[in-house]
């Protein structure tokens, strides 16, 4: 049975390749009811259908302006009001949104995962819990290389060039400084099981408190 009150919105933040997805998956697998929706900020890159493929490739995707933040905040508010949304689906090989959308139903717990979600003041205010996954830069770049080549059809040269020209500068400007807004900082790239267990225990206590107050 779903709760009638406002869902819990958890933000998981960290640099590219930090282990955000690992933390989100660990939280999901540790909660018995699995009444969780996970949303990636990357799904909300702006639609670029008006641009050619060559122009889309040149877009700086490591800047807050690359995201459709207004649509993301609108969708989160809808979910927090227990309404369903049609989430965009992003094609990383084509550098553009797909025509299809994914129907997301409201859940008791909503996890928002992304690199820039603490940079937006309105978005920060929507979050009940803000988790920063802190990982060394050398580990993050290796993970990004592996991911982008295997899953996003990129070449080694293109990944390294993008990292040096946009990813690293954006991390220093938009990601690292916003660590100060986090409620919890998880080191060791998302593999700190003690920190994750503490986080899960806190979420469970919030769920129980909500049930008792229904």
For residue 98, give both structure tokens. 């797909």
For residue 29, give both structure tokens. 């697998």
Of the CA atoms within 13 Å of residue 90, those in its CB half-sphere come to 19
135 is in an annotated binding site: no
- Which one-letter DSSP state was computed for residue 60? -
Per the CB < 8 A criterion, the answer to whether 16 and 144 are in contact is yes
Per the CB < 8 A criterion, the answer to whether 31 and 203 are in contact is yes
26 is in an annotated binding site: no
15 is in an annotated binding site: yes
Q: Which positions ≥6 away from 165 have C-beta within 8 Å?
A: none
For residue 108, give both structure tokens. 């008791």
d(CA 167, CA 62): 6
14 is in an annotated binding site: yes
21 is in an annotated binding site: yes
189 is in an annotated binding site: no
Per the CB < 8 A criterion, the answer to whether 87 and 75 are in contact is yes
β-pair partners for 10? 111, 129
Residue 88: name the closest of 66, 77, 106, 104 by CA. Answer: 104
84 is in an annotated binding site: no
153 is in an annotated binding site: no
Binding site listing for ATP: 14-21
Binding site listing: 14-21
């Amino acid at each position: 049975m779903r709760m009638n009150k406002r869902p819990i919105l958890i933000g998981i933040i960290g640099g590219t390749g930090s282990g955000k997805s690992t933390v989100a998956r660990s939280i999901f697998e540790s909660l018995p009811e699995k009444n969780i929706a996970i949303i990636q900020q990357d799904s909300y890159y702006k639609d670029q259908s008006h641009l050619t493929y060559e122009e889309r490739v040149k877009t700086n995707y490591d800047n807050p302006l690359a995201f459709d933040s207004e649509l993301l905040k609108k969708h989160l508010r809808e979910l927090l009001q227990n309404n369903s949304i049609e989430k965009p689906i992003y094609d990383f090989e084509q550098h553009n949104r797909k025509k299809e959308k994914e129907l997301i139903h409201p859940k008791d717990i909503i996890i928002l995962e992304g690199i820039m979600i603490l940079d937006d003041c309105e978005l920060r205010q929507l979050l009940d819990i803000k988790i920063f996954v802190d990982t060394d830069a050398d580990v993050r770049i290796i993970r990004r290389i592996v991911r982008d080549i295997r899953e996003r059809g990129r070449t080694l040269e293109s990944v390294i060039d993008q990292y040096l020209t946009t990813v690293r500068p954006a991390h220093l400007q938009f990601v690292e400084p916003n660590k100060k807004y986090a409620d919890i900082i998880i080191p060791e790239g998302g593999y700190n099981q003690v920190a994750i267990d503490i986080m899960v225990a806190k979420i469970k206590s919030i769920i129980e408190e909500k049930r008792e107050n229904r």
